């Protein structure tokens, strides 16, 4: 039986529980422990697959085709684990399963209640993670903030879990905020005390507190928090803001969190080294030799989290090239009405990410045409590849009105269309082509140069496909079909002849990139962007922080379909 660590959050949301959990996992892995991470999400959607990215951020896809919370992306990027369906549990799934059992008559006439039926189901899901697998530690991150009505069943299940397995086998870590009040010139501990008080009311006494803060928390302040929150002073861990999220494991270790965890869980303490991580990831991310500017042209640009894995993967591609990547976020809808493509000038690479719905499509097409004609490195992902095919059809093959049937059912040239098996699908949830599929790569292509192997596996999340009827026409006009499914039926990668670097893929490579092991396509994209920059004298010398606009949901976004 593995040891279990429950990570909860208090005071406010967005404190970075996901990154904290992933960082703890990283530190424990460095000691040679085998660690799994699970996210428990309180909302009633069965999964985030149909949710608007403005509400939820990116949908992260696992190898086994689960549509999950973006925190799973952090877990996979920070650790060696490959996660699956059992690593993300939502209240929706829990209730769905309990109600299905009730309808089947499994409860033999009993009254079905939150306690014990929902909580028992949650405990089962927690145990599922390590069923038939050998883990030393399982970290369960509980979504939401202490005090929320919604997360109560999860917290109650965690409380019971600890009661059943005992103190030496389970641990509660609570992440809180210690705000700095400018006018008083002081850090304040009261919100932390209240938040711990809220947890205590439901029977949970945290063992370790991770305190997010802008300023240093000195020993006196730590002692005060320890006294009022009933934890040991060494169990008060400062988590000061860092320049790169990849520094967090180093900062936590520096604070000695691993010593406290090992001591409380009676795990033999081994120092473990994060030296490689520091050298190959953190130092490279903080002190890159070069800088390059990349445009990301999408429709969820206003929200930091909507393209999370793509932004991280670009950084990884940067790290692999000793380069800092300055990301210029461009709202594709704004490009539609723009008289000139001024916004795209001065960038050394253009990336068009995945998406759903017709808003902003014409802007993406304009950006792709610009990249194709001006020979700027271009990288298209999923909808980005579909748009590259549409743009090529319209502007190179002269197929006026070419489109995807997702956006125009009556287009005269449906270059992107539905496969037969998708045509009768009515439900939106979980019905796309999801998860890992193999793809064969043709020799002497950009794709082969990047991967250096003939067969790969990548994760998918889409319904529409390249229409095979147009294969020949595309190829004759210089579009190379560089990756196809083993059956030969599905086009997975396309690239342009006569262009220095133009590659678009139907899958989502961003779900498999890690800071210390950049995805090969991202690595090559940044490499080609550097070459473009050099050739065109576009050197940028100061790192400009990408501007993150406020996450306002555009009105027309409401009611739009996202799956």
Residue ranges that bind ligand GLN, judged by CB under 6 A: 354-356, 382-383, 406, 461-464
Between 354 and 483, name the residue whose CB sits nearer to ligand GLN.
Answer: 354
Task: Return the CA Rg of the chain.
Answer: 25
Q: What is the DSSP letter of 234?
A: G
Interacting residues of 502 by C-beta distance below 8 A, sequence separation 6+: 371, 372, 377, 378, 388, 446, 495, 496
Between 481 and 540, name the residue whose CB sits nearer to ligand GLN.
Answer: 481
Partner residues linked to 61 by β-bridges: 67
Catalytic status, residue 510: yes
CB of 352 to ligand GLN, least distance (A): 10
Q: Strands 491-496 and 479-484: what pairing? A: antiparallel
Contact 414, 423 (CB under 8 A): no
Kindly give the residue spans of alpha helices, DSSP state H, lying in 427-545. 446-451, 471-476, 520-535
Give me the residue whose beta carbon is nearest to ligand GLN: 354
CB of 244 to ligand GLN, least distance (A): 28
CB of 90 to ligand GLN, least distance (A): 21
CB of 309 to ligand GLN, least distance (A): 12
Between 36 and 296, name the residue whose CB sits nearer to ligand GLN.
Answer: 296
Question: 382, 387, 439, 524: which one is catalytic?
Answer: 382
The strands making up 378-381's β-sheet, listed across from edge to edge, are 323-331, 290-298, 349-352, 378-381, 502-505, 491-496, 479-484, 433-441, 455-462
Rounded distance between C-alpha atoms, residue 471 and residue 514, angstroms: 34
Q: How far lies 255's CA from each of 6, 29, 285, 487, in Å?
A: 19, 17, 22, 53
Catalytic status, residue 211: no
Question: 460, 462, 499, 508: which one is catalytic?
Answer: 508
Type and span of the H or E element at 545: none
CB of 456 to ligand GLN, least distance (A): 18
Question: 510, 519, 524, 557: which one is catalytic?
Answer: 510
Catalytic status, residue 508: yes
- Of 379, 371, 377, residue with least CA distance to 354: 379
Q: What is the DSSP letter of 514?
A: B
CB of 354 to ligand GLN, least distance (A): 3
Type and span of the H or E element at 156: helix 152-165
Rounded distance between C-alpha atoms, residue 7 and residue 19, angstroms: 11
Between 6 and 466, name the residue whose CB sits nearer to ligand GLN.
Answer: 466
Between 331 and 348, name the residue whose CB sits nearer to ligand GLN.
Answer: 331
- Of 332, 354, 353, residue with least CA distance to 343: 332
CB of 57 to ligand GLN, least distance (A): 14
- Active-site residue set: 382, 508, 510
């Amino acid at each position: 039986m593995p040891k279990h660590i429950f990570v909860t959050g208090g005071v406010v949301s967005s404190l970075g529980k996901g990154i904290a959990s992933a960082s703890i996992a990283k530190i424990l892995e460095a000691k040679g422990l085998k660690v799994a991470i699970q996210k428990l999400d309180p909302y009633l959607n069965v999964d985030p697959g149909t949710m608007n990215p403005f509400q939820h951020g990116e949908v992260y896809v696992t190898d086994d085709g689960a549509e999950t919370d973006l925190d799973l992306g952090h877990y996979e990027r920070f650790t060696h684990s490959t996660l699956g369906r059992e690593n993300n549990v939502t209240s929706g799934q829990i209730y769905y399963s309990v109600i299905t059992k009730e309808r089947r008559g499994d409860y033999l006439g009993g009254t079905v209640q939150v306690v014990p039926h929902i909580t028992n189901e949650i405990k089962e899901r927690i145990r599922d993670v390590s069923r038939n697998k050998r883990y030393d530690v399982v970290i369960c991150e509980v979504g939401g903030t202490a005090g929320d009505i919604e997360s109560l069943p999860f917290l109650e299940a965690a409380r019971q879990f600890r009661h059943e397995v005992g103190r030496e086998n389970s641990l509660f870590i609570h992440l809180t905020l210690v705000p700095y009040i400018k006018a008083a010139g002081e850090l304040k501990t009261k919100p932390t005390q209240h938040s711990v008080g809220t947890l205590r009311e439901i029977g949970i006494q945290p063992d370790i507190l991770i305190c997010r803060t802008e300023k240093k928390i000195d020993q006196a302040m730590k002692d005060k928090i320890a006294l009022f929150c009933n934890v040991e002073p060494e169990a008060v861990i400062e988590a000061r803001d860092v320049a790169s999220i990849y520094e967090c494991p180093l900062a936590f270790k520096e604070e000695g969190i691993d010593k406290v965890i090992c001591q409380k869980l009676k795990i033999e303490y081994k120092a473990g080294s994060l030296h490689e991580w520091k050298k190959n990831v953190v130092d490279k991310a903080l002190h890159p030799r070069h800088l390059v500017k990349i445009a990301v042209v999408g429709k969820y640009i206003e929200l930091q989290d909507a393209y999370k894995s793509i932004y991280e993967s670009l950084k990884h591609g940067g790290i692999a090239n000793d380069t800092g990547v300055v990301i210029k976020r461009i709202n594709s809808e704004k490009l539609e009405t723009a008289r000139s493509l001024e916004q795209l000038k001065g960038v050394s690479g253009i990336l068009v990410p995945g998406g759903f719905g017709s808003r902003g499509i014409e802007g993406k097409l304009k950006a792709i045409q610009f990249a194709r004609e001006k020979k700027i490195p271009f990288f298209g992902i999923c909808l980005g590849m579909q748009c590259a095919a549409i743009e090529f059809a319209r502007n190179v093959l002269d197929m006026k009105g070419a489109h995807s049937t997702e956006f125009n059912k009556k287009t005269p040239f449906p270059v992107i269309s539905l496969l037969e098996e998708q045509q009768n699908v009515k439900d939106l949830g979980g019905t796309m082509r999801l998860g890992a599929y193999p793809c064969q790569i043709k020799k002497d292509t950009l794709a082969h140069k990047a991967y250096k192997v003939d067969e790969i596996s990548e994760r998918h999340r889409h319904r529409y496909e390249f229409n095979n009827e147009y294969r020949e026409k595309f190829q004759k006009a210089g579009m190379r079909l560089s990756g196809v499914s083993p059956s030969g039926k599905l086009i997975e990668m396309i690239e342009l002849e006569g262009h220095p670097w133009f590659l678009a893929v139907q899958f989502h490579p961003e779900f498999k990139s890690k800071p210390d092991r950049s995805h090969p396509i991202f690595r090559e994209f940044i490499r080609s962007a550097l070459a473009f920059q050099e050739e065109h004298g576009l050197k940028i010398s100061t790192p400009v922080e990408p501007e993150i606009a406020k996450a306002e949901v555009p009105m027309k976004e409401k009611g739009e379909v996202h799956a």
